[in-house]
Structure 1
Amino acid sequence: MLLTTILKVIWMVSAVGLTAMVLLHSPKGDGLGGLGGQAQLFTSTKSAETTLNRVTWTLTVLFMGLTVVLSAGWLDVAATAPTP
C-alpha cells in the first residue's frame, strides 16, 4: 500500500513536470517546410534546448511507465498475495 502511494505521488509530480516542460518548449514554426528537411539547414541546437528535450523525454518515459504499472494493478496483486 505504501509503495503504491509513493508511486502515485511520483506519477502526479511527473505529470505536472511534463506539462511544464512542454509549455517551456519554443514553437518550431516549421510548417510544411519541415516535411522535406529544409528546416534543419537554418537551425542550430542550443544547449538549453537539448537539456529541455532530455528532461521532457525522461519525464515522458517515467509518466508512461508509471501509468502502465499503476493501471495494470500489478502492485495491488503483489500486496494481496498470501504469504506462506
Structure 2
Amino acid sequence: MLTIDDCIALSDLTEEEIDAIAEHEHLPEILAVELGCCLAHDAEGIRRIARIIREDIDRARSHGQTVHARQLTVVLDGFVHQHPAL
C-alpha cells in the first residue's frame, strides 16, 4: 500500500508545493498530489503551479498573514530554482 509520503515522492513536487496547491484549490492533500503530479509533467502545468503559489502569497499578504506569505515565498523560490525556464 502506498502512503501519502510515497505519493508525494512520486509527484516530483515537495510537500510544501503540494500544500500550496491544496490551499489554493481547496483540496484534500491526496487530491492535490494527483493534480500536482499532472501539472508537474507539463510545461504549462509548471507555469500554473508557480501562478498558484504566487496567488497564495498574494492572498496571505492581503489577509495580513506575513509569516505564511514568507513561507510561501520560500516555496516559490525553491520551485523556480528547480524550474529555471519560468
Range class of TM-score, shorter chain: 0.3 to 0.5
Bigger radius of gyration among the two: 1
More relative contact order in 1 or in 2 (CA 8 Å, sep 6+)?
1
Report the TM-score, using the length of structure 2 for normalisation: 0.40
Report the TM-score, using the length of structure 1 for normalisation: 0.41
